Chain A
Amino acid sequence: MNNNARYQQLREASWRRKLTEAEQAELRAHLAAQPEAPADWDAEVALTEGLNRLSAVPVASNFTARVLQAVERQTAVQSRSRMARWSDWWPSLRWAPATASAVLVVGVSLLVFHSQQVATRMEVAESLVAVADVKSLPAHAEILKDFEAIRRLSQTPPADEELIALLQ
């Protein structure tokens, strides 16, 4: 570290506290080596002393009490403001539970009704399919007695045209 940087470090230290013996010895060596440095150092010391001697500004004896009062006022204002906002909303909120209940009941009812409608339509559709199959049958039921036999009889093999031609 060069001398100027070290001198700057010593100056910065002197702004906040008294220099140690070792630091003062270093400083003296630097000041002896630099002709213009002593005047600057004297000005630094004088300024530091002057700044440190600035008087404390008088503070009122009830300062803390007034701050606490201000805090109380602030807290009271915030509470009143929160209460005012709540009471503005409260009249409409009073009806909210009843409204919500009514909406819930109506919703559930609609859902149940819809489900029933769907089930009913399914039943009707199935019935229609069954009826559609039945409508081609004859009016009297005893015809169906030998249904299978009759059905097989109706299943005749195709005509033997070659035999028919020979018989003719």
Chain B
Amino acid sequence: MAHNPKPCWLTGVCYTRRDMPASADPDAALMLRVKRGDKQAFAGLVDKYKQPVVNFVCRMLRDETEAEDLAQNVFLQVYKSAHRYRVSAKFSTWLFTIARNLCLNEIRRRSRHPAESLDAPHPEHDDQPLRQFEDKETSLPPDALLRGELEQKIAQALATLPENQRTAILLCRQEDLSYEEIADVLGCSLSATKSLIHRGRETLKQMLKPYLQTGAWKGTQK
């Protein structure tokens, strides 16, 4: 079947050529119950997707503090838009489309209002920085420290990618999203999506070359 996504923010991702029965996606069936006002069904969806959505938002914004608040807004938006939900795509595709759009709005808002400097002095105690962060890593064992450093490097490298490449790579981690569904979230073709992932990964490989070459990845266990 030819794939021609027409992303449609808030009305869900609309495909005119694909019909999907609610039974094919249990989350869609839950969402139809939410549409009828079933808050228990909504709570079930939140429980199931809160972790992936928070992960996605945090990696997109590189801000753990704001990630949870924004993730809550994602689900709030899902609830508010429930009356417009159509079973034309998987629920997760629709959910991540909303999440991505809210992240984009936040990124644009931040670019218009840059964050205050972390080095700015505290207004009352000018010998202290405005924000203090606890150093959580000093008492950890070496493996955990190495793992933490590698993760930090990956997260930093991800943050430097263009938004669409970063989104594509992050959604690639979602096991229940196919490449076609990732394309739907991004609003581009399948080949363009794979191209974004490929280019993003090439950039990451270049940036992380020293770590990749040492084989430091291997042997680090979670």
Contacts and interface: CB of A to CB of B under 8 A. Distances in A.
B33 interface: no
Interface in B36-91: 39, 42-43, 46-47, 50-51, 54-55, 58-59, 64, 67-68, 71-72, 75-76, 79-80
A140 B209 CA distance: 136
Contacts of A53: 147, 150-151, 220, 222
A68 B172 contact: no
B137 to A, nearest CB: 13
Nearest to B40: A68
B68 A59 contact: yes
A74 B14 CA distance: 26
Contact of A51 (B46, B71, B173): B173
A56 B79 contact: no
Interface string A43-54: 110110111111
A46 B67 CA distance: 27
A67 B76 contact: yes
A115 to B, nearest CB: 52
Contacts of A57: 51, 54-55, 58-59, 64, 67
A43 B212 contact: yes
Interface stretch (B3-11, B122-130, B200-208): B200-208
Contacts of B103: none
A59 B147 CA distance: 20
Nearest to A60: B68
Interface residues on A, range: 20 to 34
B62 to A, nearest CB: 11
Interface residues of B, number: 46
B175 interface: yes
B55 A15 contact: no
A16 interface: yes
A51 B175 CA distance: 13
Given A16-B175, A64-B43, A64-B47, A47 B212 contact: yes
Given A70-B76, A71-B79, A50 B51 contact: no
A66 interface: yes
Contacts of B197: 12, 15
A165 B217 CA distance: 155
Contacts of B31: none
Contacts of A50: 150-151, 154, 208, 211-212, 217
10 contacts: A8-B198, A15-B201, A50-B212, A54-B155, A63-B54, A64-B46, A64-B50, A67-B46, A67-B72, A68-B46
Interface of A: 8, 11-12, 15-16, 42-44, 46-47, 49-60, 63-64, 66-68, 70-71, 74
Interface of B: 39, 42-43, 46-47, 50-51, 54-55, 58-59, 64, 67-68, 71-72, 75-76, 79-80, 147, 150-151, 154-155, 169, 172-173, 175, 179, 194, 197-198, 201, 204-205, 208-209, 211-213, 215, 217-218, 220, 222
The 4 tightest CB contacts between A and B, nearest first, are A57-B58, A46-B212, A64-B46, A67-B75
